[in-house]
A and B are shown apart, each in its own frame.
Chain A
Amino acid sequence: MAIDISDRPLPADREDSSRLLLEVDNLHVEFRTRDAVVKAVNGLTYSLSSGETLAILGESGSGKSVSAQAVMGILDSPPGFVTNGTIRYRGENMLTMPEDQRRKIRGRRIAMIFQDALSSLNPVFTVGDQIGEMFRVHLGMSKKDSRVKAAELLDRVRIPSAKDRVKDYPHQFSGGMRQRVMIAMALSLDPEIVIADEPTTALDVTVQAQIMKLLSDLQQEMSMGLILITHDLGVVADVADRIEVMYAGRVVEEADVGDIYARPAHPYTEALLKSIPRVDMKGQALSTIPGTPPNLARIPAGCAFHPRCHRAQAICATDEPEFAQVALGRRSRCHFWPEVLDDQR
């Protein structure tokens, strides 16, 4: 008989930052299309503790969004299927849970913020309605009370004149404000984990900074675990504690933020960092990574990155690298990680 943990009261010691909230272990997700099988996620493993901000970094097509959808349980299935692995929330494997139990966790304990707020919010309902819906459906609150709560939340995400704006529709907000609405909606029931899928990609740089600060502040206040999915190294540097760098559906490097920026241990991370334009490099050619991300229906044999890697040698085309321990809390999936480390000045 499955244990329904969605009704378990939250432990009093939420501030205990060492408590493990989420454990993703060897996750495999594939998409079965008419033409081919696309392996979007290939053996993804990471964990998240409360109060921690984990950044999942990767290009488009690296599998980062898909893995998040798998965790939330909102994968389009068909054509997407989880073919292996476990996703444990507070010890319970969500993949084997009955759906109605999983649904109760969704939105309430684990919430998600999407990239494009304009298309992700329902255009025909007011913002107050959509936020209030969380309270009405999950907690059985009345319409009036939920409206009040919605206004409070809008205030919390620093939207001016919250009480009036509650009656407005999504298209009446600016991009940054809309994203705040999304954040308010995700945070409404005080979830333990929030997954933010490229929350600032669609926004201006200055607004980006505001939103990230908001997220960071709210996370501190509520001691949530935050998973930040992004391709933007700049965003990550400010907010994250740890980083998982993804390529072709698996993690290629895992480390604390400071370590990665100072001394990357994987050629991909190294190349990413090198490609960031810097003011003191003015006048020089921009450094890029040659080639394009692999077709996930035909992932290269051996190390998936080897066709584009300037350190590639014969063994890279045949043997898949182990996820080696570089140091405490650091791992790298490369045959030559010591050389990469050493090459950093």
Chain B
Amino acid sequence: MSDRDIGDPDSATPGATSTATAQVGGFGGRQASLTADAWRELRRNPLFIFASAVIVLMLAIAIFPGLFSGVDATNKREFPCLLSNTVGTPTADHWFGFDLQGCDYYSRVIYGARPSITIGVVVVGLSVLIALLFGTLSGFYGGFLDTLLSRVTDVFFGIPFILGAIVFLSAIQGVEVLGLITLERGVTTVIIALTIFGWTTLTRLMRSSVLSARDMDYVQAARALGASNRRLMIRHILPNAITPVVVYGTVSVGLIIAAEAALSFLGVGLQTPAISWGLMISESQNRIQSAPHLLLFPGLFLSVTVLAFLMLGDAVRDAFDPKLR
């Protein structure tokens, strides 16, 4: 017996010339949109499950560090630090040992999650917003607007990422914005620095995505049906063009977290008394031979977090790629 619905009106009519054999949207029963298919595919992918689990864990650690470490989040002086414990090795009570000041290293690593992940998520979030706006407008309207925006993108692109961030962060300290806030080196300034130099790649990606989508037949069809430009952009082009941005955005979170760590390592990012994995690694430099655990634990957490975002990005990309069906 055939498993197809015999009453399906979209039957092929072979024998007629040319392209009559195309089936027009005849999917029969299940709702088959690209996102639904992709989600189904993702759920089956062990890499996706693993990566998501890690990310959820890290997010939990970042949002509720108190749950994972017995220390009170608000009062930093509650960190159990005894100078006599300086650079102690891991014990049963203190899984990660102690750092230079004799503070419990495990708590520090846990608390180090929040600034790093916050920066990663916020920077990418802002970059995606900028990319959506600039990329769509640039790709859709073309012409002078596109040329202008492309040149601006090129200008920012031309500055090496780390160099730009370093110069910016070094210069920004003590600047007064609107006579109200004085910018200190901290999470906010790092976010600004990384966003300024990080928005370009996503914007370019969005633009080229929109460019290819713009000429597609379904856009022409919608236009012929009288859709306004705004409607075209938002309802038709955006959902289809956004996929590469989503994929690269996911990967970017990992890359930005690594970048923040690098900047803190170099001394231009977060500073003590802030806690950052990059800072901790930097501080471990002098003691590395006698106390490798000082490098190991923050390095591990950092790498695993970045890894999880990369894997997630890979899994999402594979799920949305129709060619891999």
Contacts and interface: CB of A to CB of B under 8 A. Distances in A.
A295 interface: yes
A286 interface: yes
B15 A300 contact: no
Nearest to A62: B14
Interface residues of B, number: 19
Interface in B129-153: none
Contact of A288 (B3, B6, B11, B23): B11
Contacts of A308: 6
B286 interface: no
A315 interface: no
A290 B16 CA distance: 15
A74 interface: no
Contacts, number: 65
Contacts of A201: 18
Contacts of A317: 1
A175 interface: no
B6 A290 contact: yes
A293 B12 CA distance: 8
Q: Main SS of chain A's interface residues?
A: loop
A286 B13 contact: yes
Given A60-B21, A291-B8, A233 B2 contact: no
Contact of B14 (A231, A286, A294): A231
A272 interface: yes
Interface residues of A, number: 29
B17 interface: yes
B313 to A, nearest CB: 24
Contact of A59 (B1, B10, B21): B21
Interface string A217-259: 0000000000000011110000000000000000000000000
B17 A291 contact: no
Interface stretch (A92-100, A129-137, A141-149, A273-281): A273-281
B2 A289 contact: no
B12 A292 contact: yes
B15 A276 contact: yes
Contacts of B10: 292
Given A272-B15, A275-B13, A276-B15, A291 B6 contact: yes
A43 interface: no
A234 B18 CA distance: 10
Nearest to A201: B18
A233 B18 CA distance: 11
Contacts of A276: 15-16
A273 B172 CA distance: 79
B18 A291 contact: no
Contact of B11 (A60, A234, A290, A295): A290
A289 B17 CA distance: 15
B263 to A, nearest CB: 43
18 contacts: A59-B12, A201-B18, A205-B18, A231-B14, A231-B21, A232-B17, A272-B14, A276-B15, A277-B16, A288-B11, A289-B13, A290-B6, A290-B7, A291-B6, A292-B12, A298-B3, A307-B6, A308-B6
Top 10 A-B residue pairs of the complex, sorted by shortest distance between their CB atoms = A307-B2, A272-B15, A59-B14, A233-B15, A291-B6, A275-B15, A276-B15, A288-B13, A275-B13, A292-B4
Interface of A: 58-60, 201, 205, 231-234, 272-273, 275-277, 286, 288-295, 298, 300-301, 307-308, 317
